[in-house]
Amino acid sequence: HDILFKNISVFSESGNMPKSLFKGFDEEHRVRNIAIDGLFLNGFRIQNKAHANLEIRDFCDDIILR
């Protein structure tokens, strides 16, 4: 709960962002309130979840990219 990832730089020769998976365990053990503030691929800021290659599965709430 309430986790901030800040200024993450990823370098990729292929130019593709590797997948990041978020998944809670069950209804009582959810992943929630996660913020990613400053995600960069090869020096360029990623602006949306699709380009960030985020896979958000079951039992997740409020995962944001800013």
pLDDT in tens, 2-60: 999 999 999 999 999 999 999 999 999 999 999 999 999 999 999 999 999 999 999 99
Task: Output the CA torsion 2→23→13→15 (10° steps).
Answer: -80
User: How far lies 55's CA from each of 34, 44, 59, 63, in Å?
Assistant: 13, 20, 12, 11
The answer for residues whose C-beta is within 8 angstroms of residue 62's C-beta and 6 or more apart is: 32, 33, 34
Give the global pTM.
0.86
The answer for residues whose C-beta is within 8 angstroms of residue 14's C-beta and 6 or more apart is: none
